[in-house]
Amino acid sequence: MTQKEKLQAGELYRVDEELAGELSHAKRLCETYNATPRDDKEKRRTIMHALLGRHGENFNIESNVWFDYGYNTEVGENFYVNHDCVFLDTNKLIFGDNVYIAPQCGFYTAGHPLDAALRREELEFAKPITVGSDVWFGGGVKVLPGVTIGSNVVIGAGAVVVHDIPSNSVAVGNPARVIKKLPAPRSS
């Protein structure tokens, strides 16, 4: 099994030459995107088309933004990312429609073993993150590996999401916990 196959299976893996090359490619695209003026919408869109795995037609991603691989991130329609966000998309990172992300948020599919000996061997793991539709992330939210967030959810500013969050809820805190249920959204 290759290191990339181990990564995709959620097993411990090590960054090899293939993965290092893919990381470098994505980082170069991010550097170019972040250096491109905001009003050069065509160039910015072209870069995101080359970077993202799947995307809707209507999305807006502010600078500065960082992806590990890019191709593991899938975004739906009406996707908005404010400034200074990080997407460690080592494994799948999937967002539904109408997702709004405030500044300085992080979505981390990558993690490291608790065992120090394994960390010294430069082993890591990656678990997918899935986010439903109609989700709003307040400023500074962090979402950790393996989390699923339902639809019609608000994650309060500064929350650290370590467990799944059900649909139709508001979650806050560290670790994030549901503090309020929301009514199902009205159809438009």
Report the catalytic residues.
112
Cα–Cα distance measured from residue 38 to residue 94, given in angstroms and rounded to the nearest whole number = 25
Kind and range of the H or E run holding 161: strand 160-161
Residues whose CB is less than 8 angstroms from the CB of residue 26 and which lie 6 or more positions away in sequence, other chains included:
51, 67, 68, 69, 70, 71
Distance, CA of 14 to CA of 1 (rounded, Å):
12
In sequence order, the 6+-apart residues with CB closer than 8 A to the CB of 76 are 56, 95, 96, 97, 98, 99, 133
Q: Are 160 and 174 in contact (CB under 8 A)?
A: yes
Q: Round to whole Å and give the CA distance between 83 and 70.
A: 17
Given a contact cutoff of 8 angstroms between Cβ atoms, the answer to whether 161 and 147 are in contact is yes
